[in-house]
Amino acid sequence: MRTRRGPGPITILVLLLAVLPVSAQGRGTVEATIEGDPLIRLLPKDGIPAIDDPEMIPAAEAGSIMKDDEPVIGIFDGTNARAYPTWYLDGHEIVNDRIGQLPVAATW
């Protein structure tokens, strides 16, 4: 019968990864420090793509994918309205759109 005399290799690996600095784990790069605290870049430049020329659906159809009380960023130019759901903006952060001839950038 085999008996264990200490932690196994997986336990050692988990402990080692827990104590390594974030940059050494490949999770980010220290870009600068602010008042002694590191500023760590987690995503590459342009790592979160903007939405360009989004496809809109009529408000009457939006109920199939949205709740009535769902938060949105809304724009109304007096004639046309747009609603950008914040849950969708969580993954993109910027929507580049046009309302008529007016260029619009909604950011989150």
CA distance 31 to 62: 42
Largest CA distance in the chain: 81
pTM score, whole prediction = 0.57
> What pLDDT does residue 6 have?
56
Q: What digits encode the pLDDT tens for the residues 67-101?
A: 889 999 999 989 988 999 998 888 888 999 999 88
Dihedral sign computed on CA atoms, order 88, 89, 91, 94: positive
CA 35 to chain centre: 26
What does the domain layout of the chain look like in residue ranges?
9-41, 51-107
At residue 61's C-alpha, the angle toward residues 59 and 65, to 5°, is 100
CA distance 105 to 83: 12
Contact assessment for residue 84 and residue 95, using Cβ atoms and an 8 Å cutoff: yes
Q: What digits encode the pLDDT tens for the residues 29-63?
A: 888 888 988 888 887 877 888 889 888 888 889 88
Q: In what order do the strands lie in the sheet with 51-52?
A: 51-52, 94-99, 102-107
